[in-house]
C-alpha cells in the first residue's frame, strides 16, 4: 500500500512523515484543566461562570467590613459576579478540583 493513500486512525490530515503515535502531535497532548471541569465552578451563561471559593471569600471579606441588608448583599453579589466571570473553557487556577 502506498503512503499516499494512508488514512490515520486519528482522523487528522497528517503531513508526510507524521504518524498517529507522534508524541508531539496535538491529539497526543494532555489537555490543560479548565474552570468548567472544576468542582468549584458555578456555571453562569454562555460558557462563563464564577468560582464559588472566590465568591465566598469576597463575600465574607465584604461582610466583615460592613454588614449588609439582604438587598445590599444581592446588589453587591450581582456587581461582583459580573466583574469576576471566568471563561469555563480557558481559565483555570491552582485550586482546581476535578
* pTM higher than 0.85: no
Q: Greatest CA span in the chain, whole angstroms?
A: 76
Q: What is the pLDDT of residue 77?
A: 95
| pLDDT for 5 | 60
pLDDT digits (tens), the chain, 98 positions? 455 565 666 676 777 777 777 777 777 777 778 888 888 999 988 899 999 999 999 999 999 999 999 999 999 999 999 999 999 988 888 888 87
Question: Rounded distance, CA 79 to CA 98, Å?
Answer: 28
Q: How many CB atoms lie within 10 A of CB 41?
A: 22
The predicted structure's pLDDT at residue 21:
76
Amino acid at each position: 500500500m502506498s503512503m499516499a493513500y494512508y488514512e490515520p486512525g486519528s482522523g487528522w490530515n497528517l503531513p508526510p512523515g507524521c504518524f498517529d503515535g507522534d508524541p508531539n502531535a496535538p491529539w497526543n497532548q494532555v489537555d490543560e484543566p479548565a474552570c468548567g471541569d472544576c468542582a468549584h465552578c458555578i456555571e453562569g451563561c454562555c460558557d462563563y461562570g464564577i468560582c464559588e471559593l472566590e465568591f465566598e471569600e469576597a463575600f465574607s471579606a465584604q461582610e466583615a467590613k460592613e454588614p449588609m441588608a439582604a438587598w445590599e448583599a444581592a446588589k453587591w453579589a450581582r456587581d461582583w459576579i459580573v466583574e469576576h466571570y471566568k471563561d469555563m473553557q480557558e481559565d483555570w487556577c491552582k485550586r482546581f478540583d476535578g
